Amino acid sequence: MSGTPVRHAAPAAGRPEVTAFFDRRSFSVQYVVADPQTGACAVVDPVLDFDEKSGATATWSADAILDFIHRAGLRLDWILDTHPHADHFSAAGYLGRRTGAPTAMGEHVVKVQRLWKELYNLPDSFRTDGSQWNRLFADGERFRIGALDAQVMFSPGHTMASITYVVGDAAFVHDTLFMPDGGTARADFPGGDAGMLWRSIQRILSLPAETRLFTGHDYQPGGRAVAWESTVAQQKAENEHVRGQDEASFVKLRKERDRTLPMPRLILPSLQVNIAGGRLPEPEDDGRRYLKIPLDAFGDVPWD
């Protein structure tokens, strides 16, 4: 269940107020990004709760976000996913049904859909055109959250579909960059690419030095307190996956590390939900929903 939200006040005009909700089950950070001038807001990367041991699902995390939005008197304009997540279910579908707010994803999600449709052997009726979202964003596309200007930055490498949302002076960088002591995202999932990840990181770090960067996960290295906000300047100075590296050395570092990592425990349950816009599989004739788990899909990979 999500912990207590922490609000980052941003009184200056054009700067969003960012409230983070940390999900301890998946180490994920969900965000409410609000325009203090108009009260409009967006939700970024919401989590649908899932217990893989029992198969139970719940909406505690998403409902906590809705409760916060209601208590703060905000108006939900957008439900934004940065990529199809491999470690938690997306609550975008649930929030869209509850609120009527449009859901959005980067346009390259169709490539991820095609790849995983084949891996899961999904039926022909499963659409790979991105129509599970209300809006598919292209690189460089702009939209508004109230009076705030928001821009989409294509950031592939961790996945083929990853995007960064730049809202005022804040950038939501998903799994591309962690906190400086956590390094960078892995690039060994199907469709991932370490060289593309390096180039995406360089593009993010070309933003102004004071740009606030909000990461999608924090694994609390060394047991430190959870954290999710850094700056471009801080990442350049402190992140050892970035500082002093070039593309070749980064790719070597990233590939060597990725070879030691087991797959996330929820990658196979979550991707079939997340390529469907956060929608659970349709009930079968007994009224139950079922997830498919393809066996031996990744070949020889490290185990826990």
CATH code at position 237: 3.60.15.10
279 assigned to some structural domain: no
1 assigned to some structural domain: no
Write the single-letter amino acid at 10.
A
Mean pLDDT of the chain: 94
Q: Is the pLDDT of residue 7 over 90?
A: no
Q: Going by DSSP bridges, is the β-strand pair 103-106/75-80 parallel, antiparallel, or unpaired?
A: parallel
86 assigned to some structural domain: yes
* 232, two tokens: 């471009």
Q: 121: left (phi > 0), else alpha (psi -120 to 50), else beta?
A: left
* Domain span holding position 70: 11-274
* 163, two tokens: 């995007």
Q: Is the pLDDT of residue 145 over 50?
A: yes
Whose tokens are 């999710």? That residue is 228
Q: Which pLDDT value is given to residue 299?
A: 87
Q: Residue 298 class from Cβ within 10 Å (0-12 exposed, 13-18 middle, 19+ buried)?
A: middle
6 assigned to some structural domain: no
* 275, two tokens: 């390529």
Total number of domains constituting the chain: 1
**Which of 10-19, 162-171, 203-212, 281-290 shows the lowest mean pLDDT across its residues?**
10-19
Q: Is the pLDDT of residue 102 over 60?
A: yes
297 assigned to some structural domain: no
240 assigned to some structural domain: yes
* 296, two tokens: 């031996």
What whole-number percentage of the chain has pLDDT above 70?
96
* 142, two tokens: 């702009």
User: pTM for this one?
Assistant: 0.94
**Which of 2-6, 21-25, 101-105, 175-179 shows the lowest mean pLDDT across its residues?**
2-6
219 assigned to some structural domain: yes
Q: Is the pLDDT of residue 10 over 50?
A: no
- Do residues 102 and 132 touch, judged by C-beta distance below 8 A? no
Q: Is the pLDDT of residue 2 over 70?
A: no
Q: Residues near 145 by Cβ (< 8 Å), separated by ≥ 6? A: 16, 33, 34, 35, 40, 41, 42, 77, 78, 167
| Mean pLDDT, rounded, for 197-213 | 97
What whole-number percentage of the chain has pLDDT above 90?
93
